Chain A
Amino acid sequence: MIRRLASLAVVVAAALGSYYGTLATAPYGLMWLAEAKLAKSGPVNHFTHTPPVRAERQFVVRPSPDLLYSVCPYDLTAGPLEVTAVPVPGRYSSISVFDARTDVAFVRNDEQMGGEPMRVVLALEGQQTPAGIDTVRVRYATGIVLQRVLLADPSEAAAIDPIRSKARCRTLTG
């Protein structure tokens, strides 16, 4: 009886450990896969301004055809990352930062930008950042910066491209 209970305890303990371990590590793994996929379509620490979403062109799960996306997979190993963007007048736009665990570290939309360009620096704890610029401290070296711009119709993309293309990711060195 005791041996059977001990056997059951081993199975249950191992199952609980691997269950919670899988739940805990899945977001990191899925984010890593997304970063690797995005890095194939454009360099790390630079924005890639993707064309309107279509069924045959989906860069991430559950994309919205009503949004134009620009993506910047980042790696802060070489230094903090400066992110700049300008709002597209008269429509929703936002810049958001997702860390390696998929948590949102920062969001700023066009209303919060107040019609003005935005500038923010992403940095790990301990990294030096320029004075006078908003700094977002993140826990992990890698993640994704995402720009969303509302697209009422795919034909608007050409007119929006010059404005959304002003978004920049840039490693700050020295």
Chain B
Amino acid sequence: MKAVFKWTGLLVLGLVLGIALAVWQIRNSGLGNDVRVGPWTTGRDIGTAHADMKTRAVVALRGLLALPAQEARYFTAATDSAGAPLSGKCRYALTGGMIEARWWSVTLYDPGGWLIPNRWNRHSIGSGRIPVGRAGGWTVLIGPEEQPGLWIPTGTDGAFELTLRTYRPHGTLARDPARISLPTITRGECRP
């Protein structure tokens, strides 16, 4: 009888450890870690039957209903270009150029992937908002206080993430996303 309890206990311990590790990995993995471009990461097999188990589970939790790469590539950044975690207390300049896609947008989320309420009801900037003639060199400001021009409020003092959606990617973005240039994220002043 004692032996039965012992083996049952070991079995339960193993099951709990395995589940805990899987849940921790799903909750703490980026939305696709196959390709890294500066602070941005993406996955090659998001939304497809070729995705491995971990990718599929992470996408289900953090980006359910994501499209496959030929339709849309999703890049996520949780740090600035210097590697520091994005903080809602800080100002950032997101500076980029031409992106090989039919349209793109940058959206700010909390680390769980949810929009953060703010009094401006503003959460993203799309390529349609970039002034004519500036597509090759643009800057979007991100920060807790209202700023002139293209601006996204952080809406929080805590951590946040940025998702860059590129719909109908073409050229190098479609063929080999590891070789493209993506917007840089430069931190400015932070409030205490």
Contacts and interface: CB of A to CB of B under 8 A. Distances in A.
- Per DSSP, are chain A's interface residues mostly helix, strand or loop, or mixed? mixed
B85 interface: no
- Per DSSP, are chain B's interface residues mostly helix, strand or loop, or mixed? mixed
Given A102-B59, A104-B47, A104-B67, A63 B115 contact: yes
User: Which one of A31, A66, A92, A102 has the greatest number of beta carbons of chain B within 10 Å?
Assistant: A66
A30 B27 CA distance: 13
A107 interface: yes
A64 B57 CA distance: 20
Interface string A83-114: 00000000010101010011110010101000
Contact of B7 (A10, A53, A96): A10
Interface string B123-137: 110101100000000
B124 A66 contact: yes
How many interface residues does chain A have, given as a range?
A: 35 or more
Interface in A11-35: 11-24, 26-27, 30-31, 34
Top 5 A-B residue pairs of the complex, sorted by shortest distance between their CB atoms: A14-B14, A18-B18, A22-B22, A19-B18, A15-B18
Given A14-B11, A104-B47, 8 more contacts: A11-B14, A22-B18, A22-B19, A23-B56, A55-B114, A63-B115, A92-B167, A111-B168
Contacts of A19: 18-19, 21-22
Contacts of A96: 65, 67, 71
Nearest to B49: A103
Given A15-B18, A101-B56, A152-B128, A66 B61 contact: no
B105 interface: yes
Contact of A61 (B15, B18, B114): B114
User: Which one of B10, B49, B118 has the greatest number of beta carbons of chain A within 10 Å?
Assistant: B10
B59 A26 contact: no
A63 B116 CA distance: 12
A102 B107 CA distance: 22
Interface of A: 7, 10-24, 26-27, 30-31, 34, 53-56, 58, 60-66, 92, 94, 96, 98, 101-104, 107, 109, 111, 144, 146, 150, 152
A18 B19 contact: yes
A31 B57 CA distance: 10
B17 A61 contact: no
A58 B53 contact: no
B26 interface: yes
15 contacts: A10-B11, A11-B11, A15-B14, A18-B15, A21-B18, A23-B57, A31-B60, A55-B115, A60-B64, A61-B114, A65-B115, A102-B56, A102-B65, A107-B71, A144-B65
B54 to A, nearest CB: 6
Contact of A15 (B17, B113, B155): B17
Contact of B71 (A18, A54, A64, A109): A109
Nearest to B15: A18
A54 B123 CA distance: 9
B47 A55 contact: no
Contacts of A20: 18, 22, 53
Interface string B5-48: 01100111111111101110110000100000000000000011
